[in-house]
A = this chain, B = another copy of it.
């Protein structure tokens, strides 16, 4: 991974996440990266390849985000960790997650299968704790995640610390 290659990826991430994939030309990316346009195609084949390279990095980020919680066995801790999840994303990664959310709507990158392991472990946790509707409780957590994270990433001002406490108390965890 050369320096210019990283410049391209950084510029593309910034532009795709803020202006959108379709609204960002390869020309714009090249200029922002301080690189000739041809180099993008040399390294990534085509515009989609550039996006794919960006999303590849994301896979690991998803896994490391879910890893800790999926391996947990104590149901209360599972729910606690699940609730804490969106609050633990460092602000330095917001651009990346904004891209994730944007693509979910701009392209048909569903992300449905990405939340699937989280849903499964949450369902298990709610089951163990005797909730009447464990599957729906699990979905509800994910919906809250999506709604709240979407708002945060779009810049709606939220007292994250206070909201985190609010949710933890709601679920007694």
Contact = CB atoms under 8 A, between A and B. Distances in A.
A138 to B, nearest CB: 12
Interface string A85-107: 00000000000000001101111
A104 B144 contact: no
A139 B144 CA distance: 10
Interface centre among A110, A144, A147 (most CB of B within 10 A): A147
B163 A139 contact: yes
Contacts of A41: none
Interface stretch (A28-36, A53-61, A74-82, A150-158): A150-158
B136 A143 contact: no
A133 B104 CA distance: 32
Contacts of A167: 140
A23 interface: yes
Contacts of A101: 105
A142 interface: yes
B154 A110 contact: yes
A143 to B, nearest CB: 3
A22 interface: yes
Interface of A: 20, 22-23, 101-102, 104-107, 110, 112, 133, 136, 139-140, 142-148, 150-151, 154, 156, 158, 162-163, 166-167
The 7 closest A-B pairs by CB, nearest first: A143-B147, A146-B147, A22-B22, A147-B147, A105-B105, A136-B166, A143-B148
